[in-house]
Structure 1
């Protein structure tokens, strides 16, 4: 099988970079990257500067792209936002099931329906398994039901990148789906689901785990997705497998690897612009514990409270999860004590790239300096996908 790839919600190309590091045989035949509300599409332009353009549709709203015109591919990848995945029943005479407007999952679903990629690898935040708060597990249940209805079996795992050697404590849900017509599916279908989760499945091969866990089961009525949206609720664990709507899930513990410390990726001779200067008092307030009386829109008074977080961040541990607001004056921004100067400063753009596993100056392609942090806060941890890419490469080599 050719290792042809379609990359949706591509950002600055984390999936593509990771897969190409895993195997030179991976060939991206199409990608899509479009940032709503942005006049200048900086992330798309960064992607194009690294790999060149494909056609005039890669940098537009994917909802207006005819999915049948997307080139054929054997692997669909993408990191999509965690949104409200509730759906409505089709109206009489309508084309079929649709979710809420603007929810990007449906663009993935529509692409799979049009192109029937044998393999799918997706990334989302870890809370996907528990959302929404009012109906725990519904959103992930809708996604699983859609995949099952399209003829896919599914494996998933929540991966903390630092537990597998990365420089960031970033927890993300990865979803691996594969057509039940593939040889890989034929092999998995003959296996005990517990063995798929523990040792022989896609994620077990990519991210080894300890073997002591309990599997919970649930049946998903994937033939009636609106009912799943209306009433399904289930406590998904951090690993699992689904075939024909039968769910097997367990909380698993990683066999941890030595993480990369923040100290190990720090730049030398950092410019004065990154130091805190006269804003130290404001930073101390933002990072500190606080209790503030607030009034809601309805007039209800309440106490907003939050605990202190480390200030400065330890450089003898992996970084915290980096957000799109990195470097701005806010509580979540990393502040470190530079080991060369013993002064407090922000992370540089290159350090942000290293935390995510990109090459130095990957985003130095003409975009505003602040947007370089935004792109990294949106990105995935490249080495984690490279690990999965190696496993994928072997699997796809076993297909006709």
Structure 2
């Protein structure tokens, strides 16, 4: 059995597993995965996972329907790590009388907490869109603070960092917030505790020391793998003690949250950081297929469709009317006529390949075309044709539609970032002194 055995939640098409396998497929092993799309009749992503990972136990039901005893079975079978990319939702909570504290139904983060309560993993590695740090707009940072408090109440500490993949050598400008969560009785947590102590930052600053900044700039997992400049951006630094219960945080949170931070024993310290700029990104041109290998269906031979793309990407001012009858002018700036092959790509969305403003438009050898599924996979550091086949419920291997393959990649993460996290986490876990 591997040293770190994984339960992959909201698995998609296996991005976390690919990343950790590439880091060290003997140290990491994904034993269980859960993937379910409640709004779809066919579970294509789940079936791709079954095809690609035949030895893994795949759970294809709503995560809320997985019983606690299944999580306990995972623990008994050696699962000691949870990973997952989960959506940004409303995390607000309320008191519910005899039931105690309850979050809104359907918010998937609470299923991560339930799995953590049952499995009690050593570590979690999680990913989300970076707007999580500023949501909701009416109380910025509240949802993130609820997350921090929830983990603190279970006996965990964590660090976070917003990572733009292109700033660390990847071919896509994709900003996501990653979390490294660790149980407070692990050797790593004990070493962190020695450095951060009681967290009385003011006293330590009087001595000319700030262990929180040392952790963020030098000592933490993200600092080691994703270096940043050794000073805050525009002096943006804040700290906050998460007092009371999660309802108190939900109702009364007033702190600030920046793109990097550490939460230790219910107290967090956060800094706005900037990458060193030493790593150069790959470009869109680096990942495109040879034109001889591109099927004709991806070329824009329809003049009307090409004109539609030109309109969508161009500047515009439109008169619109709100639901209450208020008239206003909607303005949209222009984009380049097509995407440069000399730069990393823009962020890929689930609508990639459809006729819309966010879809990438290439011009190569005088012809316009769209990204192919293989190119979309390369932008996320997946192997070529990773999503081409699926294993259906009746045991048949079938091809996946182009539309679904692009949807998968728009939902996926950059596996190269996960691989770097995995390499550093292995060092942390192996150092048990």
Structure 2 unmatched ranges of 5 or more: 196-210, 390-398
* 1:108 alignment partner, one of 107, 112, 126: 112
Structure 1 unmatched ranges of 5 or more: none
Equivalent position of 2:284 in the other structure: 262
Equivalent position of 2:313 in the other structure: 287
The secondary structure found in structure 2 opposite 1:294 is strand
The secondary structure found in structure 1 opposite 2:52 is helix
The secondary structure found in structure 2 opposite 1:190 is helix
Contact kept, 8 Å, 1:327 with 1:333, in 2: the verdict is: yes
Calculate the aligned-residue CA RMSD, in Å: 1.4
CA distance in 2, matches of 1:359, 1:328: 23
Matched, 1:92 2:92: no
The secondary structure found in structure 2 opposite 1:157 is strand
The secondary structure found in structure 2 opposite 1:93 is helix
The secondary structure found in structure 1 opposite 2:32 is strand
CA distance in 2, matches of 1:391, 1:48: 28
Deviation at 1:54, TM superposition (A): 4.2
Contact kept, 8 Å, 2:237 with 2:272, in 1: the verdict is: no
Deviation at 1:222, TM superposition (A): 4.9
Deviation at 1:334, TM superposition (A): 0.3
Equivalent position of 1:225 in the other structure: 246
CA distance in 2, matches of 1:31, 1:393: 21
Deviation at 1:98, TM superposition (A): 2.0
Matched, 1:79 2:85: yes
The secondary structure found in structure 1 opposite 2:6 is strand
CA distance in 2, matches of 1:67, 1:276: 51
Structure 2 length as normaliser, TM-score?
0.89
Which stretches of structure 1, 4 residues or more, deviate above 6 A after TM superposition?
none
CA distance in 2, matches of 1:217, 1:252: 12
Contact kept, 8 Å, 1:262 with 1:319, in 2: the verdict is: yes
Matched, 1:161 2:165: yes
Equivalent position of 1:38 in the other structure: 40
What are the Cα deviations for residues 292-318 of structure 1, in whole angstroms up to 9, with x where unaligned?
111111111111111111220111000
Equivalent position of 1:11 in the other structure: 12
Matched, 1:187 2:191: yes
Matched, 1:327 2:353: yes
Contact kept, 8 Å, 2:309 with 2:355, in 1: the verdict is: yes
Paired positions, count: 395
Contact kept, 8 Å, 1:145 with 1:220, in 2: the verdict is: no
The secondary structure found in structure 2 opposite 1:282 is helix
CA distance in 1, matches of 2:236, 2:194: 18
CA distance in 2, matches of 1:75, 1:371: 29
Deviation at 1:215, TM superposition (A): 6.5
CA distance in 1, matches of 2:174, 2:370: 19
Equivalent position of 2:298 in the other structure: 274
